[in-house]
Amino acid sequence: MRWWLARLNLAATLLLLGILFLFVNFIASRRYVRADLTKTKITALSDKTVQVLKGLTAPLTITVFYQPTHRLYPLVKDLLEEYEQRSPQLRVEYVDPEQDIARAKQLAQQFEIDRINLVVFQAGTRHKYLSDTDLAEYDYAQMAFGGQPSLKSFRGEDAFTSAILNVTQTRQPLIWVTIGHGEKALDNAEPDGASDFKKFLERDNMRVEPVTLLEKTEISQSVGAVVILGPSRRFHDQELALLQTYLERGGRMLALIDPLQDTGLDGLLGRWGVELGNDIVVDPARQLPFISAANLFVTTYTQHPVVEKMQTLMTLFPLARSVRPAKDLKDLSATSLAMTSPQGWGETETGATEFQYAEGTDLKGPVSIATAVETSASPPTRLVVIGDSDFAVNGQLGNVGNLDLALGAFHWLVEQEQLIGIGPKPLESIRLNLTGSQLRGIFWFSFAGFPALMGLVGAGVWWRRRR
């Protein structure tokens, strides 16, 4: 009887442990904590994304139309799991276009898809899809030697959050980009063009239109912002009057003004608290190797929404002029955004090939290169003026923090501060280079040495208990 009771007690214990195991796993599958332990926090969501997800009030469907073998698939899946944890309004569907052919054809017809490896966002009747080039930055250097492009950084969070806003927000800011004064061309895909600049604005749910101001009698308040992208010719008085009236009524403007250019904008910007320097900014302490000190890289930023998330980034300016708050601001609030080091200065001898600071003539550093202005009126007038436009062309926009500065200025101008600071995250691979003898040592320790050591420990414990 005692033998049967012992066996019955053991069976009951095992049964209860099994039930407890299933119960704990059931709860853990629904109530758990995820942690991103990667160095660059590749799937950790920013506060801006969390705010966007908490603000969702209607269902949003995300369809991952990807091959599971694609290099971005694990990153996309991990990131979307974080998104799902933040909002009950999200529903994510994974479709393998090679295995689930029927569903793939249905999606291709529904969204007019003509290729695979896309992420489709849908809310109501609006949808937007993102390709792998929208989600990652690639290094194509190896292609010159017959290799494949390698992943440089993952910008999935930036792209996903922008797509969510694109399909959920009914308000689409209208952006006018001035033309007719030698500005950078939005339809130019060459390195000196601005097609990438336009692409990123449209991806962030903005409607971009090139405009000749001389053909307009006024700038409507429906225009979210006016962009002046590196003019090389003077603006007409009529155009300046249009811009002045627009700003007086709470308008927004981004002006990228290159050095050595007479644009006629100095007086207009001066009335709005921005002083353009007739100089070239140099900074020997921030000089790239083997090139002129006029090629700046800036790492000093102030406390302002445009640059608050750029404290660990640098911005590259091929050639810049000083742009600083004016001395008499009256009812304006002007803030420098990006500064040189104290060793930099504004060189007034713009034709010089070798730069030397001249006390009393040159502008002493640290020198401001970008300035933001805001009024206290309602709605407030907002301006961002940057002393260089080349940092935003196709050949430069992908450098370090250049895109962050350009988009940060735009999001602040159109009051989309929730998107500032969501940038690409670098992908870091760690390699462990071992010699043949080291590999053999690891093999024998793993498959023979460690098990033998554990066996000896077990034998020692058994022997000690026997005594």
Percent of the chain as helix, strand, coil, to the nearest 5:
35, 20, 40
CB-side neighbour CA atoms (13 Å) of 363 = 24
pLDDT above 90 for 466: no
How confident is the model over 124-133, as pLDDT tens digits?
A: 888 888 888 7
- What does the pLDDT read at residue 424? 61
Domains of the chain: 47-162 (3.40.30.10), 173-422 (3.40.50.880)
- The predicted model scores a pTM of 0.72
Q: Are 111 and 129 in contact (CB under 8 A)?
A: yes
Instruction: Indicate the range of 46-50, 112-116, 143-147, 217-221 predicted with least confidence.
Output: 143-147
* Residue, of 263 and 143, whose pLDDT is higher: 263
- What does the pLDDT read at residue 113? 81
pLDDT above 80 for 436: no
Q: What is the mean pLDDT of residues 173-193?
A: 96
pLDDT above 90 for 243: yes
**Please, what's the b/e burial string for 33-69 (b: 16 or more CB within 10 A of its CB; e: otherwise)?**
eeeeeeeeebbbbbebbbebbeebeeebbbbbbbeee
Residue 423 — pLDDT band, cuts 50, 70, 90? low
Full 3-state SS string of 57-96: CCCEEEEEECCCCCCCHHHHHHHHHHHHHHCCCEEEEEEC
Torsion from C-alpha of 97, 49, 399, 211, nearest 10 degrees: 90
- What does the pLDDT read at residue 136? 83
How confident is the model over 13-26, as pLDDT tens digits?
A: 989 988 998 888 88
